[in-house]
Amino acid sequence: MPTEALIDVDQAADRLGVSVRWIRRAVAQRTIPFIKVGHYVRFEPSALDAYVDTNRVDAQTPWLRR
């Protein structure tokens, strides 16, 4: 059972800096972790943070041209 307060779709979109539409699409495609509470979709803030960490792409050093 989560000990932190669950957040809704609008708050999740604000937290990730994306649109509500992107969040709803990610939920429909099951690419982002979420919790169903009745017919409502909720998110654990720590799960969203873990999602960001998992999908982080590190920068690469560009090839040096001579």
Domain range for 14: 9-54
- Residue 26 resides in a domain: yes
Total tally of structural domains belonging to the chain: 1
**pTM for this one?**
0.79
Residue 59: per-residue pLDDT: 83
Per-residue pLDDT of the chain (66 residues), as tens digits, is 557 899 999 999 999 999 999 999 999 999 999 999 999 999 999 999 999 999 999 888 777 766
Residue 32: per-residue pLDDT: 97
- Residue 42 resides in a domain: yes
Q: What is the DSSP string of the chain?
A: ---SPPB-HHHHHHHHT--HHHHHHHHHTT-S--EEETTEEEB-HHHHHHHHHHT-----PPPPP-
- Residue 32 resides in a domain: yes
- Residue 27 resides in a domain: yes
- Residue 18 resides in a domain: yes
- Residue 4 resides in a domain: no
